[in-house]
Structure 1
């Protein structure tokens, strides 16, 4: 199924809001996990695809030795601009690039890493084939994807709340894209079609998602992701949509600081 253009548009105010609200709420725990796994491989040259606003990039910049070269790419230049403006504790090369058409030579990286980006690739097997092409023999492709939405509670509650606000045409971005690519057999098939060997590593990792308030959690999803584009397309008010999600999250998790389950799969494929 083709991915609508609005599902991969991270522009306007989204990069800043994404970085400020969503990154600490759901991405940072897995960023530290991926960075530790990359560092354990002792690579000399690392490529990151779909780097977004750089949460994994920053974690790898801290975890990798000074001599390791780190190149971080993303399709959306505004996301990279935000990442570069935030900065890293060591030099990183930021480069706009399409994961399905990587502008790098064959066999030029020890590790290719991608956090929560595979769900956005229009042709995942093609993107994986590109990752394999640029890996050196024995190199590792390491990525993670979100598990089903029912195991990611804030996202699930927000989606159900928006379905009540827009009953005739409920926004389904969170189900369709971030939480729409979790089936192990599908992922293994796509990797096999890209030329990776059978039986990649596949580990399900649960973590906790924390926000300062129900409002912060609701705001992160409604205005810091392409869900915002769906709300706008329905002539909806961001304030109203956020308020509806906030109320639903507060009913489930309380009115103070909130805490919920998140869950993802970490996949390791070797060239």
Structure 2
């Protein structure tokens, strides 16, 4: 999964937002950065380039992601770590960053409480969440394909997890419960560019938990073909460009 995720999805879906988030981070002039849910290092690489004088510590719960990420962004210190139980002393970092990871935390308030604990006085928490599924053209097309392939019981992972934390008021409430406050919030729409809709379909179907959901439903080549055909009909053949909307948050203690 990490290899498919890195090859098919990172350049299209994640790298545009990583460049934006790293530029925002650099403007804060951090000296010690902690990245949560670093995945294969899309944001990590961008942080290393945008803030070359900062020390970057990248963490992820998934050992395979850490292994691949550490090979791709060796300038950071990589550690396997649970965001809800961070293995760092109080006040260790002046910036905590997370790109599209907070939606996956089982207990977000616990994770945010850990963020507050490891932030030094005056430190900031910079992160992104996805907007609603229908504001992400690639994700919406994939969901339509899954509904075509499994009309009785389509997988709902995209709608309920990556795009299931799309209410800024809910994010602000969770931050407040952890002792953090939203200093800035922005809705941001960027474009993703892919070689083809089929390439994006492969990324989602082989490199995300959608893969397990399809397998649980007995999905084989015919299901993959149905998803790919639906995505192509919606996004067009050949190289495709599509909008993706996210929210960017800057929080302080």
Q: Shared fold by TM > 0.5?
A: yes
| Structure 1 residue matching 2:234: 3-state secondary structure | helix
Query: Are 2:7 and 1:20 equivalent residues in the alignment?
Result: yes
Within the candidate set 210, 224, 229, 1:247 is matched to: 229
Q: Is the 8 A contact 2:141 2:235 kept in 1?
A: no
Query: Are 2:54 and 1:71 equivalent residues in the alignment?
Result: no
Deviations 1:5-51 (A, max 9, x none): xxxxxxxxx10000001000110011001111111111111100000
**What residue is the counterpart of 2:130 in the other structure?**
146
The normalised TM-score by structure 2 is 0.97
Within the candidate set 13, 24, 27, 1:40 is matched to: 27
Looking at structure 1, the residues matched to 218 and 131 of structure 2 have their Cα atoms a distance apart, in angstroms, of: 30
Looking at structure 2, the residues matched to 220 and 149 of structure 1 have their Cα atoms a distance apart, in angstroms, of: 17
**What residue is the counterpart of 2:196 in the other structure?**
213
Looking at structure 2, the residues matched to 79 and 201 of structure 1 have their Cα atoms a distance apart, in angstroms, of: 30
Query: Are 2:209 and 1:222 equivalent residues in the alignment?
Result: no
**What residue is the counterpart of 1:266 in the other structure?**
248
The normalised TM-score by structure 1 is 0.91
Structure 1 residue 221: Cα displacement: 1.2
Gaps of 5+ in 2: none
Gaps of 5+ in 1: 1-13
Looking at structure 1, the residues matched to 223 and 198 of structure 2 have their Cα atoms a distance apart, in angstroms, of: 11
Within the candidate set 77, 82, 97, 2:68 is matched to: 82
Superposition CA RMSD, Å: 1.1
Deviations 1:133-184 (A, max 9, x none): 1001110000000000000011111112211211222101110111110101
Q: Is the 8 A contact 1:218 1:243 kept in 2?
A: no
Q: Is the 8 A contact 2:191 2:244 kept in 1?
A: yes
**What residue is the counterpart of 1:99 in the other structure?**
83
| Structure 2 residue matching 1:167: 3-state secondary structure | coil
Structure 1 residue 240: Cα displacement: 2.7
**What residue is the counterpart of 1:5 in the other structure?**
none
Looking at structure 2, the residues matched to 251 and 42 of structure 1 have their Cα atoms a distance apart, in angstroms, of: 45
| Structure 1 residue matching 2:97: 3-state secondary structure | strand
**What residue is the counterpart of 1:9 in the other structure?**
none
- Aligned length, in residue pairs: 253
